[in-house]
Chains A and B, each alone.
Chain A
Amino acid sequence: MVIERWTAKYFDGRRPVALWVCLHLDAEALCLHPGGQRLSLRALAPQPECLAGRPRLLLPDGASLEIEPEHAAAFTQAWQGRVTPPGWVRRCIASWRAALAALALLIASLLGLDQWGLPALAQQLGQRLPHQTEDRLGQWLMAQLQKDLLKTPADGEPRWRPWRAEQLQRLQGLEPDLMLCLSLYQPNPPKLMNAFALPGGHIVVLQPLFEALGEDELLAVLAHEVGHVKHRHGVQGLARSVGLGMVAALTVSDYSSVAATFAVGLRGLSYSRDAEAEADAYAHALLRRMGKSPALLGQALRHLEALQAGGTSPSWLSSHPATEARVQAAEQAAQR
Chain B
Amino acid sequence: MSLEILAVDDSRTMRDMIRLALEPEGFTVHTADDGVHGTEVLSSINPDVIITDINMPRMDGFGFIDAVRDQNHHRATPILVLTTEAAPELKMRARKAGASGWIVKPFDPVKLVKALHMVSG
A, B co-complexed: no
Give the B-binding residues of A (Cβ under 8 A).
Answer: none
Give the A-binding residues of B (Cβ under 8 A).
Answer: none
